[in-house]
Amino acid sequence: MEYLEGRILLDPKLPGITPNRRAAIYRAIAKTLAALHSADVDSIGLGKYGRRDSYCKRQIERWAKQYIASTGEGKPVGNPKMFELIDWLRQHIPLEDSRAVTTGLVHGDFRIDNLVFHPIEDRVVGILDWELSTLGNQMCDVANICLPYIMDLKPDRLDEGFEVSGIPEGIPSQSEYLAEYCSAAGKPWPGTAWKFYIAFNLFRGASILAGVYSRWIMGNASGGERAKHTGRVANSLIDSAWAVIEQKSLLPEHPPSGPKAQDWGETEDQSLSNSRGKFVPRKKVLELRSRLIKFMEDHIYPMENEFSKLANSTLRWTVHPEEEKLKELAKKEGLWNLWVPADSAARARNLISDGRMLSDDASNLLGVGLSNLEYGYLCEIMGRSVWAPQVFNCGAPDTGNMEVLLRYGNKEQLHEWLIPLLEGKIRSGFSMTEPQVASSDATNIECSIKRQGDSYIINGKKWWTSGAMDPRCKLLIVMGKTDFTAPIHKQQSMILVDIQTPGIHIKRPLTVFGFDDAPHGHAEISFENVRVPATNILLGEGRGFEIAQGRLGPGRLHHCMRLIGAAERGMQLMVQRALKRRVFGKLIAEQGSFLSDVAKCRVELEQTRLLVLEAADQLDRLGNKKARGTIAMAKVAAPNMALKVLDMAMQVHGAAGLSSDTVLAHLWATARTLRIADGPDEVHLGTIAKLELQRAKL
């Protein structure tokens, strides 16, 4: 064991915590339990940690024996209702308990006060008290963490749980909480079996407390004076179990807010028509998605031509005034900064506010508390148009740069740079790639960042700094070497640089197949004796690689999510065209070759979407490092799939598909860059292969 810095939250009501954070904490608990339950016990060497089948059956006998041993002759009197309860439980063991396949690692006492939370972020960093852990029926852990909804266990009495006393604001209902867990763990909705699991946990609690009471009577209880109440509380638990059993039903038949196809705002979307399953987002996400789709239809698609016209004119490096208006509208409609992950927002909130509550305006800038997985459903919609992401302040490289500041910036850096970025008042660039070295291997980066008194002096040449041509671009995050002699992964640092600093020369905009992506642009830049305050260093010298890892995980996935959207747009345009255009006496849609190709595109698109969502889910549950293999897979699969679908869409459009009369060529060009940008395919394939070989060696 090791010391773990963090917080223990003793009271499940979470007093003194804001509703938003309560919601985040409960979500974190559900996800933690799901992650624990998803452990592959065989591959981590715990395959023989216990018998797998008939866990509840054995537990009932164990705790019944314990109860009998704690009561009877010379001991407190046994409660007849307990013996009836034991009988009821024996007769109602769910069928799944006898099947080893539905079991896995069980903690045995999974409660909020056995969890260690991060010192400031609302996520679980440790799970304590493993003495009851074994293999078995995992629903017992789930029911245990849900007990606060049924009862409030005090040292000397039992009070009503949230379901009767009222759920504190922000805390989900029992059904929502369970749905979150089931969705994350890929478990079926417990339905009618839930009554058994709750009653079982109350029974187990009663048996344990009866044991404590018996020891108190004998004069050897460890709980001191408090132990004298435990006999009474044990009996209350038994009453509570019977009250549960006698209720008609504890849970609705289905999880709450299972989406119907029309909730998504697009009845034709087969992939999302299921109402249950691991990848079914909660209602709030579905609502945001519908609103986003409407915003795209009302405001973005109709403006695409206009935006393109300006971007191809002599005024190409200026911003279309309508874009700024749409940004204000998106803000008003609550479609702003949706990418901000709940955990990063919590850190920023703390730093910015100094522990005080933030004003509503400032709080709204920190997103709406979505996980990366949830954002996946929304980011995809934005990816349908190259113009959309920045309207919602969700464009690259700003999101990656804001993520860096959210995670690694100090208070002053957050105030100076993060807030204006979150407000959408300024934009930013990320300067890593250099023309003279192979930059897919970042150890090659040569730009020098030398400390001189209270400043750093930057000298180097960068290219492909996306966004640096934009007139709103104010900040560059520059990666370079602060120590050429340090160990290879400690040489690089990142520093915040005001783009107006003397010595920065924007040399030229680069083009991708002729597209310069104005007004955003990809710039070649030289840095000549650029003097920056020493306080602008991020996290400290030599921490560049560490930051790059943190930045690249979510940023890469955002690209993948947008590529899913680009491919969906391609599918939509392709099918619309095929249903209108007649060749050799038939619609294209009636030609056999088209039918086969469009079907194959759909298959690949759906496969890739699932992979991207899986990677986002792993990022949420396991963190950047452990999710890196799946993120790498998504990063390879998404651009290749999008290229195939968009290529097919262009083919169906004939020559028009290659022109700028449709959005297809631009979407294709952007997708093609992503086989190289943020790491070429080969580098990600290398990561996947390395992990595969490591697994084989274990």
Ligand X SMILES: Cc1cc2nc3c(=O)[nH]c(=O)nc-3n(C[C@H](O)[C@H](O)[C@H](O)COP(=O)(O)OP(=O)(O)OC[C@H]3O[C@@H](n4cnc5c(N)ncnc54)[C@H](O)[C@@H]3O)c2cc1C
Minimal distance in Å, beta carbon 314 to ligand X?
Answer: 23
Three-state SS for 77?
A: coil
The residue within the footprint of ligand X, chosen from 286, 525, 677, 684 (CB under 6 A), is: 677
CB atoms within 10 A of CB 441: 10
As a three-state string, the secondary structure of 412-476 is HHHHHHHHHHHHCCCEEEEECCCCCCCCCCHHHCCCEEEEECCEEEEEEEEEEEECCCCCCEEEE
Minimal distance in Å, beta carbon 356 to ligand X?
Answer: 36
Residue with smaller CB distance to ligand X, 97 or 434: 434
Distance CA 58, CA 100 (A): 14
By the rule CB under 6 A, 519 interacts with ligand X: no
By the rule CB under 6 A, 682 interacts with ligand X: yes
Q: Binding residues for ligand X, how many (CB under 6 A)?
A: 22
Does residue 206 contact residue 82 with C-beta atoms inside 8 Å?
yes
State the number of CA atoms in the 13 A half-sphere of 380 facing the CB: 27
Residue with smaller CB distance to ligand X, 231 or 639: 639
Distance CA 83, CA 81 (A): 5
Residues 655-674 as x/- pattern, contact with ligand X by CB under 6 A: ------------------x-
Residue with smaller CB distance to ligand X, 240 or 491: 491
As a three-state string, the secondary structure of 275-288 is CCCCCCCCHHHHHH
Minimal distance in Å, beta carbon 414 to ligand X?
Answer: 22
Residue with smaller CB distance to ligand X, 245 or 469: 469
Per the listing, tokens 């290879």 go with 488
Residues 435-454 as x/- pattern, contact with ligand X by CB under 6 A: ---xxx--------------
Sign of CA dihedral 69, 73, 79, 81: positive
Residues 338-377 as x/- pattern, contact with ligand X by CB under 6 A: ----------------------------------------
The residue within the footprint of ligand X, chosen from 339, 430, 594, 668 (CB under 6 A), is: 430
Residue with smaller CB distance to ligand X, 368 or 566: 566
Tell me how many helices (H) and strands (E) the chain has.
24, 15
State the number of CA atoms in the 13 A half-sphere of 60 facing the CB: 22
Minimal distance in Å, beta carbon 247 to ligand X?
Answer: 58
By the rule CB under 6 A, 466 interacts with ligand X: yes
Residue with smaller CB distance to ligand X, 517 or 614: 517
By the rule CB under 6 A, 686 interacts with ligand X: yes
- CA of 236: how far to CAs of 27, 38, 210, 225, 395, in Å? 30, 34, 11, 19, 56
By the rule CB under 6 A, 545 interacts with ligand X: no
Write 219-228 long-range contacts (CB < 8 A, 24+). 226/155, 226/156
By the rule CB under 6 A, 390 interacts with ligand X: no
Rounded to a whole number of angstroms, the distance between the first and last alpha carbons of the chain is 23
- CA of 2: how far to CAs of 123, 126, 626, in Å? 19, 11, 21
By the rule CB under 6 A, 464 interacts with ligand X: yes
Minimal distance in Å, beta carbon 587 to ligand X?
Answer: 37
H/E run at residue 562: helix 544-578
Distance CA 620, CA 547 (A): 18
Minimal distance in Å, beta carbon 478 to ligand X?
Answer: 9
Minimal distance in Å, beta carbon 475 to ligand X?
Answer: 13
Q: Which stretch binds ligand X (CB under 6 A): 81-89, 302-310, 430-438, 653-661?
A: 430-438
Residue with smaller CB distance to ligand X, 71 or 393: 393
Residue with smaller CB distance to ligand X, 69 or 438: 438
The residue within the footprint of ligand X, chosen from 587, 676, 688, 691 (CB under 6 A), is: 676
Residue with smaller CB distance to ligand X, 68 or 426: 426
Three-state SS for 523?
A: strand
| Amino acid identity at 626 | K
Distance CA 592, CA 589 (A): 8
Minimal distance in Å, beta carbon 436 to ligand X?
Answer: 9
Residue with smaller CB distance to ligand X, 41 or 676: 676
The residue within the footprint of ligand X, chosen from 512, 587, 622, 688 (CB under 6 A), is: 512
Residue with smaller CB distance to ligand X, 279 or 464: 464
Per the listing, tokens 């002096």 go with 457
Contacts with ligand X by CB under 6 A lie at 397, 430-433, 438-440, 464-466, 512, 522, 673, 676-680, 682-683, 686
